[in-house]
Structure 1
């Protein structure tokens, strides 16, 4: 991280520290130690250090159909793609969203509900997002659990992600 990067992180952390409401600071960085030091020096607490910024060329991500008994529904509204994987009864087993800005698709809120896990639904969601999004590049912040799935689908880590807030705030799981 360049010196000006440390100053930028410290400046942002100072802004968050002065907020009256709970405010999160999310910092992608290739130097997590230096970034964490700048955040903590500004009076914030780093709550998460395990998330990763990941990317892929969407056309190169493998395609995956849902398993028997499930179907995928995709819809594009404005520049947002929403995908749901539904079971036979029409209940949501998994879902995800991708916002598109130019050539970039930013995946968010990729989720498989507990009763439907370990069936390949996450792969089906990511496949459907990649197919439906009018984007070339995919970006996302991956949780520890999600990193394994995304790596299997060809996503690569480009930075660590630190999440911080004011003292006394806990990170929602």
Structure 2
């Protein structure tokens, strides 16, 4: 279990992020077109998992905007923006913002992604949502970088995540 804060108040997660050098766990997430996407759909590519509680908050929305901008410059890399928001909310947000360089995915059906990756909040006002974190998976399916943002209202370290790709 990891502990992060929300405006200084402790919130616990269901586990720990995967260790670097380990094989990334497979997942089944729902895309905005309601299709199912798994890790194997992105085989042979670098993957940035931008995970957050809800796209309807300022910090979460900004992380999607920032990674959308950066994704246009990344070769052989897909940015997956993952939350428990409904696919309709993710589609609405990205459509309204004109964001088309990221892939929005939802863990709303059973929360198995959050459980598998150890990042679900298990208490506090955001219980059952995902903590804010970045996980990078290389072309071989290995985790090469993780960041669990210590204060949930803060943005992730974009520079460190992008640098980990090189």
What is the TM-score normalised by the length of structure 2? 0.27
The structure whose residues are more often strand, as a share, is: 1
TM-score if structure 1 supplies the norm length? Answer: 0.26
